[in-house]
Chains A and B, each alone.
Chain A
Amino acid sequence: MIYEDPLVPSTMQELQDMMAAHAGKFLLAAGGTDLFVKRRGGIGRGVILIDLSGIGDLRGISVRASDNCLEIGAMETMTSVSENPLVIRHARCLAEAASKVGSWQIRNRATIGGNTANASPAADTPSALASLGAEVILVSRGSERRIPAEDISKATGSSEIAPNEIISAFRIPLRENSVSAFGKIGLRSEVSIARLNLAVSAQVSDVMASQITNPRVFAGTLGIPARRCAIAEDVLVQNGFGACGEFCRALAELVDEAIPGRSTQAFKRSAIQALGEDVSSALLSRLKGAVM
């Protein structure tokens, strides 16, 4: 063998010791679906693969009553996230985003941590996490910090994650009477890197949605993984989910602002309005179940 042996930590402590001992010389492997595509010709001589799959603490989906949040381990796969009843109940748009990633084979491997860490502007789950107000838990030796999901990647391909840090989990606040929905337009329906996606979450006062509070509207694939649309949020607060036309126009403005002059601007301008309609009608149909 010409390459280094991989390392297989089974605890967070072992992982952090290995990352410290081999600083600058390792690559972390979650599902491998981005890593092994980018490094198709081999991961490089002298580079050590550290496999995260044996660390139980990076898995699990549970409600943390003490923090009033849903916690999802970074190594949970798109399949497990999309099928988990707690995610479907408390973070519907995230379950939908995960269910729309790649093919069945890819969803069985692709992890939610890898999707955010990879910082691709075309990723599907970052906009859903941002719309849910999720925090990303970043762990390094002896310390932990939390940053809002929308702040983790502010430029294409770069992220706020330091080389000695890993994403251990995502925490999604549990908000009363909340609804959320996700939509995606890709070049092919099943196997596609998103060309555009939209995630919306909000709290509602009653089934008529006469009052909407804390709306969070994020689009993916507009240059960065999750771009907020404040004007669309204002429209929801003022007019509810019914004012679909105005909501969609606000989304189109976001496209103009985000990617002026790009060859995809015209396509995305109309695509985002179609997504806006789909997501609005999904939200309206979910109101009944949302109000406790």
Chain B
Amino acid sequence: MDVHFTLNGENMSAAADSSTRLIDMLREGCGIKSVREGCGVGECGACTVLMNGDPICSCVTPAVQARGCDVTTVEGLETDGELDAIQESFVTNDAIQCGFCTPGMILTAKALLARNPSPSREEIRRSIAGNICRCTGYIPIINAIEAAAARTREENTAPL
């Protein structure tokens, strides 16, 4: 069947059968390669996307359940070629080494900051518990999310 949904703000339609997972539909049907398959069983978070703003593992989500939903991948975070504050912060805080975990990590961080603009380091740690990074040891990632939160708060309170 054809699944109609919104992908990064644009109307999209892609084919899905009973076995199609959301990750397959995004990668093969929509050409979104930032969504990566690590473990394939919901444990590593490399396949994280936002569905109606909530982080989910696309490797254990039936594709058909995206119908009518807003799906966001990192491609949807850039505006007019400019990186999102969280993306920039990952670069400046050395939170990216091999980069495999990065798209999923950034999307989880995006969802966290949308709900909680001033998370504590413990809240950040807890929210990214489902995103596994084998390279960085997490500290630079937590620093990056904390710095992005601070920058976003400043921008939001700065006089126009």
Contacts and interface: CB of A to CB of B under 8 A. Distances in A.
Interface of A: 1-6, 8, 27, 29, 31-33, 35-37, 39-40, 42-44, 47-49, 51, 53-54, 79, 102-106, 108-109, 189-191
Interface residues of B, number: 32
Contacts of B67: 8, 54
B130 A33 contact: no
B65 A104 contact: no
Nearest to B65: A53
A8 B2 CA distance: 12
Given A4-B17, A32-B65, A108-B55, A190 B1 contact: no
A36 B47 CA distance: 14
Interface string B30-53: 000000000011110100100100
B48 A5 contact: no
A4 B18 contact: yes
Contact of B17 (A5, A27, A36, A103): A5
A33 B39 CA distance: 13
B42 A3 contact: no
A292 B54 CA distance: 37
Nearest to A107: B130
A40 B60 CA distance: 9
Contacts of A47: 18
A53 B21 CA distance: 15
A36 B62 contact: yes
Nearest to A190: B129
Contacts of A104: 55, 108, 126-127, 129-130
Please classify the interface of chain A as helix (H, G, I), strand (E, B), loop, or mixed, using the class held by over half of its residues.
loop
A106 B39 CA distance: 14
Given A1-B15, A5-B1, A29 B55 contact: no
- Which A-B residue pairs are the 7 nearest by beta carbons? A103-B130, A190-B129, A49-B18, A3-B17, A1-B17, A42-B19, A36-B60
A191 B130 contact: yes
A193 to B, nearest CB: 10
Interface in B79-137: 108, 126-127, 129-131
A37 B15 contact: no
A3 B18 contact: yes
B17 A6 contact: yes
A271 to B, nearest CB: 21
B65 A108 contact: no
A136 to B, nearest CB: 24
